[in-house]
């Protein structure tokens, strides 16, 4: 492919001296685990997010698992999440023997529908995991109100939207997403907006008690060395990844801006095509475009992807199969047709390359190729 979904090499080249120096420093100190780089990144990320506690961990999936482990839930307790997300969100619920309860999404933003959340609440419901999909915030204000009314925990999955801002429609206050719920979780998978050079993740909270508990859980449930008060996991962010992230964090807002400009270019190019619905951003959030995702209207999607591939242009489908139709998650509670919005989206969405190294020249090639196919 000439144009891939991301260009991590191009991005690295621009920060190479800084990154190489930081990595070599860790090699020369052999401070691989829990070194000063981890503490530094933790502190800087807390400041960036405006949150009291960041707990670095090994990946975004662990972040979600540890968050759930900190809530002392019992097998069979229900956790509500969206049917249109990456599998990790439901996976950790199922792994902990909790019951994932899926709900449909909003057709414009692709994010979890708060009305559907409220309708799915039962006496067994203990938590809600909204996912801020593709780079914009779910309606976290309404979700928080519902959670408060029913005494539920909110864990935000902000793996795809780190850096986005949410403005509370009531107070008018703007804060980083991931800091509204009881716990926020994110991923530093290399292609995420704040990506490491390997795996990484973080959990954040303003709650001192939950923070203390999660710090113990990520470290084998250990309070004092070799005294284990509860069952934990081994989930650490290694120092090399922390050093890379500490550098990239300084550029995150700039990276978000480049993605937003690239999205605007695409939006303008597709604005007059009746076959393409461009992304809709809700008015309470900024959009950091982890993905740039179109909804196709009466277009042969496979044909379009092949047309693009023939021209060396990558495209992808996030996500081709809704959670309730995934083989490992088939459940007599659900059947095809239960989540019509998610099911329709899974058949009609397509994501185009979006990253920090796009240029108008590359984007023109991509938009010309898309329009050539859909308008033929
Ligand atoms: C990437 C992602 C995760 C998992 O992150 P990993 O670091 O790959 O474990 C969880 N939820 C969503 C929505 C994601 O996109």
Q: Are residues 258 and 217 in the same domain?
A: no
Q: Give the pLDDT confidence score for residue 283 in this predicted structure.
A: 95
Q: Is the pLDDT of residue 7 over 90?
A: yes
Mutate to test the pocket of ligand 1, among 133, 135, 159, 316 (most ligand atoms within 8 A of CB): 159
**Which of the 8 DSSP states describes residue 104?**
-
Q: Are residues 194 and 270 in the same domain?
A: no
Q: Are residues 64 and 156 in the same domain?
A: yes
Q: Are residues 100 and 186 in the same domain?
A: yes
What mean pLDDT is predicted for residues 265-294?
A: 98
Q: Give the pLDDT confidence score for residue 376 in this predicted structure.
A: 84
Query: Residues with Cβ within 6 A of ligand 1?
Result: 59-61, 85-86, 88-89, 131, 157, 159-160, 187, 189, 199, 201
Q: Give the pLDDT confidence score for residue 246 in this predicted structure.
A: 98
Q: Assign residue 292 the CATH number of its domain.
A: 3.90.1150.10
Residue nearest to atom 6 of ligand 1 (CA): 60
Nearest ligand 1 atom to alpha carbon 62? 9
Nearest ligand 1 atom to alpha carbon 133? 13
User: Alpha carbon of 153 to those of 56, 71, 147, 183, 213: distances in Å?
Assistant: 21, 8, 7, 8, 15
Alpha carbon of 86 to ligand 1 centroid (Å): 7
Nearest to 291 by CA among 132, 138, 172, 171: 132
Q: Is the pLDDT of residue 1 over 90?
A: no
Q: Are residues 149 and 293 in the same domain?
A: no
Alpha carbon of 137 to ligand 1 centroid (Å): 16
Nearest ligand 1 atom to alpha carbon 187? 7
Domain end among 234, 249, 264: 249
Per-residue model confidence as pLDDT tens digits over 105-142: 999 999 999 999 999 999 999 999 999 999 999 999 99
Q: Are residues 227 and 265 in the same domain?
A: no
Tokens of 170: 């009531």
In a domain, 332, yes or no: yes
Nearest ligand 1 atom to alpha carbon 290? 15
Q: Are residues 217 and 288 in the same domain?
A: no
Q: What is the pTM of this model?
A: 0.97
Domain end among 194, 214, 249: 249
CB under 8 Å to 242, separation ≥6 — which residues? 35, 37, 38, 40, 41, 42, 56, 200
In a domain, 2, yes or no: no
Alpha carbon of 273 to ligand 1 centroid (Å): 33
Alpha carbon of 50 to ligand 1 centroid (Å): 22
Alpha carbon of 173 to ligand 1 centroid (Å): 28
In a domain, 272, yes or no: yes
What mean pLDDT is predicted for residues 171-175?
A: 94
In a domain, 3, yes or no: no
Per-residue model confidence as pLDDT tens digits over 306-335: 999 999 999 999 999 999 999 998 899 999
Alpha carbon of 186 to ligand 1 centroid (Å): 7
Mutate to test the pocket of ligand 1, among 61, 90, 218, 241 (most ligand atoms within 8 A of CB): 61
Q: Assign residue 23 the CATH number of its domain.
A: 3.40.640.10
Range of the domain at 150: 8-249
In a domain, 50, yes or no: yes
Mean of all residue pLDDT scores within the chain: 97
**Which of the 8 DSSP states describes residue 285?**
B
Nearest ligand 1 atom to alpha carbon 64? 10
Q: Are residues 42 and 124 in the same domain?
A: yes
Q: Are residues 263 and 211 in the same domain?
A: no
Q: Are residues 231 and 88 in the same domain?
A: yes
User: Do the Cβ atoms of 311 and 368 come closer than 8 Å?
Assistant: no
Nearest ligand 1 atom to alpha carbon 59? 7
Q: Are residues 216 and 340 in the same domain?
A: no
In a domain, 222, yes or no: yes
Residue nearest to atom 14 of ligand 1 (CA): 159
Distance of CA 343 to the CA centre of its chain: 20
Residue nearest to atom 3 of ligand 1 (CA): 60
* C-alpha to C-alpha distance for 136 and 105, rounded to whole angstroms: 14
Q: Are residues 351 and 337 in the same domain?
A: yes
Could you tell me if residue 122 is left (phi over 0), alpha (psi between -120 and 50 degrees) or otherwise beta? beta
Nearest ligand 1 atom to alpha carbon 201? 7
In a domain, 1, yes or no: no
* C-alpha to C-alpha distance for 46 and 27, rounded to whole angstroms: 26
Domain end among 226, 249, 272: 249
In a domain, 267, yes or no: yes
Q: Which residues pair with 31 in a beta bridge?
A: none
Domains held by the chain: number: 2
Residue nearest to atom 5 of ligand 1 (CA): 60
Per-residue model confidence as pLDDT tens digits over 357-371: 999 999 999 999 999
Radius of gyration of the chain (CA): 21
Report which of residues 1 and 276 the model is more confident about: 276
């Amino acid at each position: 492919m000439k144009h891939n979904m991301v260009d991590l090499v191009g991005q690295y080249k621009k920060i190479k001296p800084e990154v190489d120096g930081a990595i070599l420093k860790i090699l020369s100190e052999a401070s691989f685990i829990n070194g000063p780089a981890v503490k530094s990144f933790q502190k800087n990320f807390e400041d960036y997010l405006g949150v009291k506690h960041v707990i670095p961990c090994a990946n975004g999936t662990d972040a979600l698992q540890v968050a759930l482990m900190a809530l002392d839930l019992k097998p069979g307790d229900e956790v509500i999440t969206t049917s249109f997300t990456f599998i990790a969100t439901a996976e950790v619920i199922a792994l902990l023997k909790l019951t994932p309860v899926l709900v449909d999404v909003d057709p414009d933003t692709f994010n979890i529908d708060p009305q559907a959340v409220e309708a799915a609440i039962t006496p067994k419901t203990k938590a809600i995991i909204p996912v801020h999909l593709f780079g914009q915030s779910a309606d976290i204000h309404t979700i928080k109100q519902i959670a408060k009314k029913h005494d539920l925990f909110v864990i935000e999955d902000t793996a795809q939207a780190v850096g986005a801002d949410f403005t509370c429609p009531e107070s008018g206050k703007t804060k980083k997403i991931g800091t509204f719920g009881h716990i926020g979780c994110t991923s530093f998978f290399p292609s995420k907006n704040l990506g490491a050079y390997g795996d990484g993740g973080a959990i954040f909270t303003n709650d001192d008690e939950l923070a203390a508990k999660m710090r113990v859980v990520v470290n084998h449930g250990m309070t004092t060395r070799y005294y284990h008060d509860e069952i934990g996991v081994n989930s650490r962010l290694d120092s090399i990844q922390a050093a890379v992230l500490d550098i990239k964090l300084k550029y995150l807002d700039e990276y978000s801006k480049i993605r937003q400009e690239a999205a605007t270019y695409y939006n303008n190019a597709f604005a007059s095509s009746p076959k393409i619905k461009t992304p809709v951003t809700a008015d309470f959030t900024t959009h950091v475009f982890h993905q740039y995702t179109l909804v196709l209207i009466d277009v042969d999607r496979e044909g379009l992807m092949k047309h693009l591939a023939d021209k060396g242009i990558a495209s992808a489908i996030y996500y081709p199969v809704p959670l309730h139709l995934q083989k490992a998650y088939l459940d007599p509670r659900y059947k095809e047709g239960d989540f019509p919005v998610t099911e329709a989206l899974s058949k009609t969405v397509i994501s185009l390359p979006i990253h920090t190294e796009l240029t108008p020249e590359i984007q023109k090639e991509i938009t010309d190729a898309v329009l050539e196919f859909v308008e033929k």
